[in-house]
Structure 1
Amino acid sequence: MATEGKHKAELAAASLARQATTSLAGLLAARGVSRSELAKLMGVSPGRVSQMMSGDANLTVRSLASAAAALGASVEIRFFDPPPPPMPAPHGELGSGDATRCGSVTARL
């Protein structure tokens, strides 16, 4: 099952890279900073910033730290337990999707 673990790690890395680049893009937009301006602030080529912003799963912590430093921003990486999966509804009861549509929340212990 090593390949399954490797596949999960690759998916997680790709998701994390997308989150980071989406967050960085949002910060750039909020501050009115272009990618080429970010490149100048970082002391790298515009092509390097484009590579970073592509969401490549090989985005490094060093690259993120460099972008944050250039913008006077902070980067936070946290490890946490994912939320538990929703419990399936017993036969004949509303599932979580149905409960949401009719505006009620069902908790099962």
Structure 2
Amino acid sequence: QTKAEEETPRDDQGAAVRLPASSCPPASSNCVVARGRVIYVEAVDPDGDGDAHFVTVSEQGVTLPGITIFDVRADLRPDPLPGVGDLVGGAGPVYRGHAGQKQIQVDEFHVAR
């Protein structure tokens, strides 16, 4: 296997899955693009605004080394929601969450299908 073949995400049957590319607007100074495997889903946010949070293992390490949190507002929530083990990606500005953690408040969000 080549390195590219090893890194290609696959579904349960071994078929390749595709994660659409994300991008930041050229003039954006606080925008980050990241991708990662979901390790935790907060489907119901305590503040009741309808967003969802996805904690991922991610090379970009926005939140902590090796960890990126995606904050996905209600109008961008995928249906069905991705679960643990799914590959997700997105882009948006980095802001502090309610606990002080850095997270991407996505302007675009994708799930490998």
Give the TM-score category using the shorter length. under 0.3
Larger Rg, first or second structure (1 or 2): 1
Higher RCO by CA contacts (8 Å cutoff, separation 6 or greater) = 2
Task: Output the TM-score relative to the length of structure 1.
Answer: 0.22
Greater helix content: 1
Greater strand content: 2
Task: Output the TM-score relative to the length of structure 2.
Answer: 0.21
